[in-house]
Homo-oligomer: A and B are copies of this chain.
Amino acid sequence: MLIGEYIHTIDIKNRISLPVKFRKELGKKIIITPGLDQCLFIFTTAEWEKVSKRLSDSDSDLSFLKADKRSFNRFMFGRAAEVEVDTIGRILIPDFLKDRIGLQGKAAIIGVEDRVEIWNDKVWMQYREVVEKQADQLAEKLGSKGTA
């Protein structure tokens, strides 16, 4: 299972080294796609099979007749890439994905069960804070109701 948070740098050529702890599970070839909420998703090829199947299943054939479907599929497939992990564990981030989330300098690499996410480190920090605050508030709320 992929868990944990790592901060790594992106080199001039848009390469980023995967955390050692992830390498085995991710394997030699991965799929990288735009993610939701300002990040990129990385899937193993196996996981990607599942994901893409779910994406295309719901409306069977001719999903291109539905406008929503078209948009979303262009987003998920059109901007996905199959990427090789090099011999020292790095991957090359395609430009169009890098630009999308403003990757540069440092990136946060997050394990989320069966996928990995890549964030601009600053954006990640902010996001984290927001989520943590919400968590506290949520706790308060629940606590005050005597849920204990």
Q: Which residues of A contact B (CB under 8 A)?
A: 1-5, 21, 31, 34-37, 41, 50-52, 54-56, 58, 61-62, 64-65, 67-75, 77-82, 94, 96, 100, 110-113, 115, 117, 127-128, 131-132, 134-136, 138-139, 141-142, 145-148
- Chain B residue nearest to A108 in the complex (CB): B78
Most central of A68, A100, A113, A148 by chain B CB within 10 Å = A113
A100 to B135, CA, bound (A): 13
Most central of A36, A68, A128 by chain B CB within 10 Å = A36
- CB of B136 within 8 A of CB of A73, answer no
- Chain B residue nearest to A141 in the complex (CB): B68
Please name all residues of chain B whose beta carbon is closer than 8 Å to the beta carbon of A113 when the two chains form the complex.
52, 56, 73, 77
Minimum CB–CB distance from A95 to chain B (whole Å) comes to 10
Instruction: Say yes or no: A75-B37 contact (C-beta < 8 A), given A58-B142, A80-B3.
Output: no
A132 to B148, CA, bound (A): 25
A136 to B147, CA, bound (A): 29
List 10 A-B pairs, minimum CB-CB distance, nearest first: A78-B110, A3-B80, A72-B138, A77-B112, A77-B113, A3-B77, A71-B131, A4-B81, A54-B62, A36-B136
- CB of A135 within 8 A of CB of B34, answer yes
- Chain B residue nearest to A110 in the complex (CB): B78
